[in-house]
Amino acid sequence: MNVHHREWPPEGLTRVPYWIYSDPDIYAREQDRVFRGPIWNFLCLEAEVSEANTFRRSAIGDMQVVVTRDGDGELHAFENRCAHRGALLCLHEQGEAKEFSCVYHNWTYDLSGKLTGIAFRRGIGGKGGMPADAQPESQAPRKLRLTVFAGLVFGTCSDATPPIEDYLGPDISAKIRRVMRAPVKLMGGYSQMLNNNWKLYFENVKDTYHASLLHTFFTTFRLNRLSQKGGVVINESGGSHISFSIGDALSSKEYEQAKLRAAQDGFVLEAPEMLQSVDEFGDDVGLQILTVFPNFVLQQIRNSLAVRRVVPIGPERTELVWMAFGFVDDDDEMTERRLRQANLMGPAGYISMEDGAATGFVQRGVAAAKDFTSVVEMGGASVSSAESRVTEASVRAFWKHYRQLMDM
């Protein structure tokens, strides 16, 4: 596989080559070196498989996965692939099951992914069937290492992946625990297809300074402005980050002076109660966006909480899977508040619908510009934590970690 036919720009992390978003050889190498490499992939919330004999479909890159909890309460995750002809074993997104039976030829598996039965293995009437020395188990679905951290289920294909808290680092671990403060109550989910490479969306979530420019709802209703106190925290590897802001964005002077479209007045909400929130974490942080390399986003926007899972579907397509949640100790008022604020997010949300459009614009815009690069110099060349969100440090840090894994 020729993945070195193009060189990374000599400027280093302040330039990102546009060919990185569409090269099929790069995409194939990512599956081995990134997603199936020594990293933890987010699979689902533990609450999605909280009961015995339940399952949830997921993915590690383009590897289809099933997460299960068996009759003894043990968690498992394995490749969603039959050992016979490779068909998907599990066709439903989630549900209850005591075994899986491949729809193609009815080979059966238990909830740990073990092959338990083969239809007509001995033939019929002494004729046909498999030879006695056949070893179909040799092609059984691959099993994953699992870990559960603060109610989040992560999986890896690699024996070299470090313990989850070492992988995350102390800052990321602490801020995950901050949000995942109690047992989770699921509120509902959805998925959307993005017409762009998976890295464009992951960069977008790490790009801390676009939010109050692209998302005019943020600034129009004073939810998030760069003039607020806040910052960016980046872990040691560079792959994971936190962006946060404190309090409400009450001042509009900077935006008005800059004549940004985000500062224009004249818009009001017919239901202003949608933005009424409480400081449930006791630290006055109104927004925290956290990522874990390579596929996980944890959001807290006021009282709207959700996890997002980034799933590559080829070099130029990505699925984004969302799950909104609250906590089992929420009262009715908080549940209603979270449901209202859930309208801020998702493919049709007042805030985040622009992200899918913008990353698609990039994919289209660079289609004929593979020999050019993007300019990633907000905040200079730093890949370190910062007290300002007017920086692309976390984007550069992402590429630092990515290039190490890809040997580029």
Q: Which tokens is 291 given? A: 């990522």
Q: What pLDDT score was predicted for residue 253?
A: 46
Kindly state whether residues 218 and 279 are assigned to the same domain: yes
Q: What is the CATH number of the domain that holds 77?
A: 2.102.10.10
Domain shared by 253 and 402, yes or no: yes
Assigned domain for 31 exists = no
Regarding whether 355 and 289 lie in a shared domain, the answer is: yes
Query: Does residue 321 share a domain with residue 387?
Result: yes
Q: Mark whether 229 and 365 lie in a shared domain.
A: yes
Does this model's pTM top 0.85? My answer is yes
Residue 260 has a pLDDT of 44
Q: What is the pLDDT of residue 257?
A: 47
For 347, the domain range is 168-406
In the predicted model, residues of the chain with pLDDT beneath 70 are 1-5, 210-228, 248-269
Residues 107-130: b if buried by 16+ CB within 10 A, e if exposed = bbbbbebebeebeeeeeeeeeeee
138 and 279 co-located in one domain: no
Residue 73, domain member (yes or no)? yes
- Of the candidates 147, 182, 200, which is a domain's last residue? 147
CATH number of the domain within which 244 lies? 3.90.380.10
Is 17 within a domain? no
Looking at residue 1, its pLDDT comes to 41
Domain contains 387: yes
Number of domains forming the structure of the chain? 2
Q: Do 112 and 210 belong together in one domain?
A: no
Within a domain: residue 15?
no
Last residue of one domain, picked from the residues 118, 147, 176: 147
pLDDT per residue over 96-125, tens digit each? 999 999 999 999 999 999 999 999 999 999
Do 81 and 185 belong together in one domain? Answer: no
Residues 124 and 226 grouped into a single domain: no
Query: Would you say residue 161 lies in a domain?
Result: no
Q: Is 377 exposed, middle or buried (0-12, 13-18, 19+ CB in 10 A)?
A: middle
**323 in a structural domain:** yes
Q: Tell me the pLDDT tens digit for each residue of 312-361.
A: 999 999 999 999 999 999 999 999 999 999 988 888 877 777 777 888 99
